[in-house]
């Protein structure tokens, strides 16, 4: 199967990209692949695929390319194709695993043979001594008796719909209190207004209008260093029952995204858990006499930092906002820095790429992370093209000069 993984990275990963994107791939992977400056110029896609297959054997080469393309703009379809190709090869690999076959006596029916094969493949309770005795019973004509399942077998639980979901799905809603007895002797659960733990999601083009209260917003920043004109900012808004994460690509709208301001959003796009606003005319302020009541509990949830323990339960691809303390810093190269963050529930790595490596952050500082993604292989957070990072300097680091372009703030 090694050759199949190489075929995936070459045909589904490297072949569809243009020359500029290929130069990015070679530049980022230069250290891992041992590429000199001349090799970066001379190596074509076939040679890079050959080298990746040697440096990252098996499925690791595909994962490496997926991780890289997820950071690059306009490569979403390539990531999907790489993942689909990887899953197909892995399924084929599992299907080719050989399973010892039980010997079938001459004259045995094909049904018996398939049953024997299934039993040998399962390795389950069907191979207990008791079940083997039942299987060996024959009718006077030499045929096998149809055996009813034993009590132990019949009590095996069936897989439920919820058991196939990720464990992170249990975090979607608040715990309900135990049922309380009513006067009639029956039980009745008290009605509580549910407060969502995660931002609400909408997918596709949405006409609106949606009336929301602004809870907070970041300052505008350049998200594509190759095109300084590409700026955006992040915001958190809420209705009376839900909160949303918003990407705003018109920075002149920043004056409307002020805390506690009530606005309407129209003609936006729902994508990957965010509402994306592109047109300045899509946002308007409501009249001063219109009020909104957003509960303090909902505001608290919208501003909360997820516990690291809970991040390990979330599915890959989840985007995370929060404030975490840095305990270790490891500069891997000019384009990659790894931070180890920690809270009272655990530790996790945060990998920062490209422009965000220029942000001055040291051990003991806190990182305010916005739009960081959980990776799909080793659990860690990593920056993507729309990620934003701000540093809250610790007291011991406060005396360091502050660079206004480094997105810093100081703790009180």
Q: What mean pLDDT value characterizes the chain?
A: 76
Residue 276: C-alpha distances to residues 203, 271, 304, 323 (Å): 10, 7, 22, 23
Q: Give the residue ranges of DSSP H helices in 229-378.
A: 296-303, 308-311
Least confident of 71-75, 94-98, 270-274, 303-307: 94-98
Q: What does the block give as tokens for 3? A: 């050759």
Residue that wins the pLDDT comparison between 126 and 209:
209
SS3 383: coil
Please compute the mean of the pLDDT values over residues 36-62 and round it to a whole number. 89
Q: Which of 87-96, 165-174, 179-188, 314-323 has the highest mean pLDDT?
A: 314-323
**150-156 — which CB contacts under 8 Å span 24+ positions?**
152/125, 152/128, 153/125, 153/126, 156/125
pLDDT band at 194 (very low <50, low <70, confident <90, very high): low
58 vs 362: which has the higher pLDDT: 362
Is this structure's pTM higher than 0.85?
Answer: no
pLDDT for 343 beyond 70: yes
Average pLDDT on 345-349 reads: 94
317 sits in the region (left: phi over 0; alpha: psi -120 to 50; else beta) called left
Arithmetic mean of pLDDT, 316-327:
94
- pLDDT > 60? residue 370: yes
The H or E element that residue 235 is part of is: strand 231-238
277 closest CA partner among 285, 286, 268: 268
Q: Looking at residues 257-262, what average pLDDT do you find?
A: 94
Region 139-167: mean pLDDT is 39
Q: Which of 317, 354, 335 is nearest to 223 (CA)?
A: 354
Nearest to 360 by CA among 294, 300, 407: 407
| Top-confidence range, 46-60, 164-178, 192-206 | 46-60
Q: Rounded CA gap, 244 and 166, in Å?
A: 23
The pLDDT tens digits for 105-142 are: 444 443 333 333 333 333 333 344 444 444 444 444 44
Query: What is the residue whose two structure tokens read 């209190």?
Result: 177
* Residue 55: band (very low, low, confident or very high) from pLDDT cuts 50, 70, 90: confident
- Interacting residues of 342 by C-beta distance below 8 A, sequence separation 6+: 308, 324, 325, 327, 348
- Kindly give the pairing relationship between strand 336-343 and strand 319-333: antiparallel
Q: Which residues of 21-33 are buried (b: 16+ CB within 10 A; e: fewer)?
A: bbebbbebbbeeb
Q: How confident is the model at residue 265 (pLDDT cuts 50, 70, 90)?
A: very high
Q: Which residues contact 148 (CB under 8 A, 6 or more apart)?
A: none
> What is the chain's percent helix, strand, coil content, to nearest 5?
35, 25, 40
Q: What is the mean pLDDT of residues 309-318?
A: 90
Which of 147, 99, 292, 103 is CA-nearest to residue 214?
292
Which pLDDT band holds residue 151 (cuts at 50, 70, 90)?
A: very low
pLDDT of residue 112: 39
Confidence (pLDDT) at 31: 86
Yes or no: say if 55 and 32 are a contact pair by the CB < 8 Å rule.
Answer: yes
A 10 A CB-CB count for 288 gives: 7
Highest-scoring range by mean pLDDT, 20-24, 115-119, 249-253, 287-291: 249-253
Mean of pLDDT values over 45-65: 89
Cis peptide before 133, with omega less than 30 degrees from 0? no
The DSSP output letter for 9 is I
Q: What is the pLDDT of residue 195?
A: 59
In angstroms, rounded to a whole number, what is the distance separating the alpha carbons of residues 152 and 193?
A: 43
**Higher-confidence position of 145 and 409:** 409
Cβ neighbours for 330, distance < 8 A, ≥ 6 positions apart: 337, 338, 339, 340
Q: What is the mean pLDDT of residues 179-188?
A: 45
Q: Which two tokens stand for residue 328?
A: 């270790």
Q: Domains in the chain and their CATH numbers?
A: 2-95 (1.10.533.10), 204-300 (2.40.50.140), 305-410 (2.40.50.140)
Is residue 163's pLDDT more than 80?
A: no
Q: Comparing 304 with 137, which gets the higher pLDDT?
A: 304
What pLDDT is recorded for position 177? 41
């Amino acid at each position: 199967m090694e050759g199949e993984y190489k075929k995936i990275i070459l045909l589904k990963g490297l072949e569809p990209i243009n020359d500029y994107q290929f130069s990015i791939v070679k530049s980022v992977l230069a250290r891992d692949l041992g590429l000199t400056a001349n090799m970066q110029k001379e190596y074509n896609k076939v040679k890079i695929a050959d080298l990746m297959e040697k440096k990252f054997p098996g499925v690791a080469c595909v994962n490496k390319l997926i991780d890289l393309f997820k950071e690059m703009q306009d490569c979403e379809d390539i990531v999907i194709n790489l993942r689909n190709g990887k899953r197909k090869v892995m399924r084929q690999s599992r299907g080719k695993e050989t399973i010892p076959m039980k010997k079938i006596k001459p004259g045995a029916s094909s049904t018996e043979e398939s049953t024997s094969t299934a039993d040998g493949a399962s390795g389950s309770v069907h191979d207990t001594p008791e079940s083997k005795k039942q299987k060996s019973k024959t009718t006077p004509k030499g045929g096998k008796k149809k055996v009813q399942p034993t009590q132990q077998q019949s009590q095996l639980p069936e897989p439920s719909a919820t058991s196939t979901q990720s464990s992170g799905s249990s975090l979607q809603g608040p715990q309900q209190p135990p049922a309380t007895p009513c006067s009639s002797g029956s039980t009745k659960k008290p009605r509580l207004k549910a407060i969502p733990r995660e931002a609400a999601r909408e997918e596709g083009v949405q006409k609106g209008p949606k009336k929301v209260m602004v809870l907070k917003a970041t300052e505008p920043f350049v998200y594509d260093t190759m095109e300084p004109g590409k700026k955006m900012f992040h915001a958190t808004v809420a209705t009376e029952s839900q909160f949303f994460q918003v990407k705003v690509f018109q920075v002149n709208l920043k004056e409307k995204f002020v805390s506690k301001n009530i606005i309407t959003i129209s003609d936006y796009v729902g994508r990957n858990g965010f509402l994306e606003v592109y047109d300045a005319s899509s946002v308007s302020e409501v009249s001063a006499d219109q009020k909104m009541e957003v509960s303090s509990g909902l505001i608290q949830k919208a501003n909360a930092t997820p516990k690291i323990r809970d991040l390990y339960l979330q599915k890959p691809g989840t985007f995370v906002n929060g404030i975490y303390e840095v305990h270790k810093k490891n500069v891997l190269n000019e384009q990659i820095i790894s931070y180890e963050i920690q809270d009272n529930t655990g530790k996790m790595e945060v990998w920062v790429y490209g422009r965000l490596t220029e942000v001055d952050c040291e051990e003991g500082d806190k990182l305010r992370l916005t739009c960081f993604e959980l990776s799909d292989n080793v659990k860690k957070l990593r920056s993507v093209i729309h990620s934003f990072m701000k540093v809250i300097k610790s007291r011991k680091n406060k005396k360091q000069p502050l660079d206004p372009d480094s997105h810093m703030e100081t703790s009180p």
